[in-house]
Structure 1
């Protein structure tokens, strides 16, 4: 039985939505794998993955099945009760990582909020009121709540919302000396993205993360890894900390965790988790059966040798071709990132023009992302087919050819 829906179009956005987004001029209505169709029936290759969310592409049969099966059983019971999908998902995350305990919520910002609150609570319980300072990286991104946007190192997002949250310091990324100079016994946490996503797809250097781990140990501070964008197979390991072999005290995950269904998690050790006693933190929807059933289907597919090896192989296809395109047309100086989180750094002649590439690509039927004004970002499905990679990059090359001839 199909339901008749009122006709809507892109212009309706400007009439009914708060204007904090400026979406593209077309409306996607259907997706399958790494292909998307808009209202007019035009087909596009999707290399955005919903900004590193649709880890298994669109309408993956296993996820559709998990969602519909759970939808016919139980959607929501609140955290007055527990539920089976949440317990199964937590066990899988704990078994697959350094962590002993999981806390479920709905978004990366919420996972980071929980992580930062936990870090401050641990320091408060163990060392008293003076140990609450948090160190994060310049140009980092950790969410849009008032706490997380202040921990994030981009003032353009945190200015204009009243007094800043105190006790937060920002240091240059990948600069161990700067971190060493900033950290003290008042520091409760150092918060880092293993790959800075929003600010240009910049991977951490191994020595930097190792040094951060050591400094945290020396100052009784917690090392928090924001793996909202890098987690769930994106780098070719289940989480990026495994790629570096540097273990955090707290890890946050969202985006790919639900493959498109909103869910996030904060992972930590038993010793730290015990500081969040009953009533100290909570969420209405976190750990709901629908989200956890879908996430369980995601991890069952992603955390396999086949999928993770596939990420590394597909990365090489992207990197080789993007470097060749960059060289031929003189548009990229570097293709960087880990796994299937790739950033093409624009050459001097094209600096600041990432939006032009986004628009040109869309005209040729391929969806890409920006990471700031100087970097084109790719975050495709981890199971994108070679045929879709070839077709999408053919379209991308045509877009570049048109753009550079203009």
Structure 2
């Protein structure tokens, strides 16, 4: 059966929530994906920053296989060892105090916002309900998460949205300060690096001011690191580049290397308002996901591995910068680590399609940015090939 026949079958039974490219993948190895007709692609999408160790990783496969023979799931009415171990490692890597596990980034952000509102009602004011988020942000597809997402295109036909969530311009502290003065604020929610909005990093001084504002006003500071966390930037969490800590950080995507998992970490002061019955997740902390997460935490959390991510990032950006010098269509290169955005003046859909034809997978971010979020194990040789194919496609 050929690709078009599979796609026709899929169209008949799967809701069209994605504009899928006409590719049907069969298997992957390292940073290479192979479709059912045998064509190979260098994958710089990585499940959109999920497959941090690529495909068919021997160590991760072994850990998952071992856990399959023990138990896939056990209720959160009981403890399990991989859950406890993963939480211990995350606390150590983050500098925060307590973990909650769920299944996705949207769920993680919902948990973070619930935690912040409960905290505000108990320790600030019954009227402290406002959550201030950023324009051009993205936090997920569930109702509070999509309301917090600062891009109206994702909210079409979903009104009324959740109340008491306001948006201000990212990296604009004056606008944020005015919003805090106007509203009885429970939380400030932002991405240290905006992903879907176009790969825009926060400015260091801005984040320091936001941290002080939250301290002064008893506001819960939430960082959404669903995309930029888990070693993606060369630090385990992106906020570690800035010398500050949030009160709550959400994570998902790369945490279990492709097994669905998300969660939040919080400081004790805020975490203690989650008590039995205040929040839950049936599949959260299941032994399969947390076993995979333990392997990722040991591997990606290793300082030598993170240093390699930083070195490969520098190499990648240097190669793209040289391309920018000779190609007038490239307007800007942004990001940290292996979360890189290349802004171009061409139609990004045309360029993405041409990349696919050339055997390179990339995706868009914002209106005019090509996003590179490859597996963190990508080699320099594969980076060279990526830049060559990208140049050809431009």
Q: State the TM-score, normalized to the length of structure 2.
A: 0.97
Larger deviation, residues 184-193 vs 43-52: 184-193
State how far apart, in whole Å, the 2-side matches of 1:8 and 1:111 are: 37
1:166 aligns with 2:160: no
Per-residue deviation at 1:13?
A: 2.4
Partner of 1:375: 369
State how far apart, in whole Å, the 2-side matches of 1:116 and 1:135 are: 11
Contact 1:108 1:143 in 2 (8 A): yes
Partner of 2:320: 322
**Root mean square deviation, CA, Å:** 1.2
Per-residue deviation at 1:160?
A: 1.4
1:210 aligns with 2:215: no
1:117 aligns with 2:114: yes
State how far apart, in whole Å, the 2-side matches of 1:374 and 1:134 are: 29
Contact 2:340 2:371 in 1 (8 A): yes
Q: How does 1:1-400 map to 2 (within 5 A)?
A: 9-184=6-181, 186-347=184-345, 350=346, 353-400=347-394
Per-residue deviation at 1:317?
A: 1.7
State how far apart, in whole Å, the 1-side matches of 2:5 and 2:296 are: 32
Structure 1: unaligned runs, 5 residues or longer = 1-6, 401-406
Larger deviation, residues 324-333 vs 100-109: 324-333
The runs of at least 4 consecutive aligned structure 1 residues that moved more than 6 Å come to none
Per-residue deviation at 1:11?
A: 2.2
Corresponding residue SS for 1:183: helix
Q: State the TM-score, normalized to the length of structure 1.
A: 0.94
State how far apart, in whole Å, the 2-side matches of 1:328 and 1:23 are: 32
Per-residue deviation at 1:202?
A: 0.2
Per-residue deviation at 1:8?
A: 6.2
Per-residue deviation at 1:265?
A: 1.4
State how far apart, in whole Å, the 2-side matches of 1:229 and 1:55 are: 11
Contact 2:124 2:218 in 1 (8 A): no
User: Over residues 243-273 of structure 1, what are the superposed CA-to-partner deviations in whole Å (9 max), with x where a residue is unaligned?
Assistant: 1111100000100111111111100012211
Contact 1:141 1:152 in 2 (8 A): yes
Structure 2: unaligned runs, 5 residues or longer = none
Contact 1:323 1:332 in 2 (8 A): no
Say how many residue pairs are matched. Answer: 390
Per-residue deviation at 1:329?
A: 2.3
Contact 2:49 2:227 in 1 (8 A): yes
Larger deviation, residues 268-277 vs 101-110: 268-277
Partner of 1:404: none
Contact 1:354 1:372 in 2 (8 A): no
Per-residue deviation at 1:162?
A: 3.1
State how far apart, in whole Å, the 1-side matches of 2:82 and 2:266 are: 20
State how far apart, in whole Å, the 1-side matches of 2:16 and 2:204 are: 40
State how far apart, in whole Å, the 2-side matches of 1:152 and 1:65 are: 37
Per-residue deviation at 1:330?
A: 1.3
State how far apart, in whole Å, the 2-side matches of 1:368 and 1:164 are: 32
Per-residue deviation at 1:393?
A: 2.1
Contact 2:342 2:370 in 1 (8 A): yes
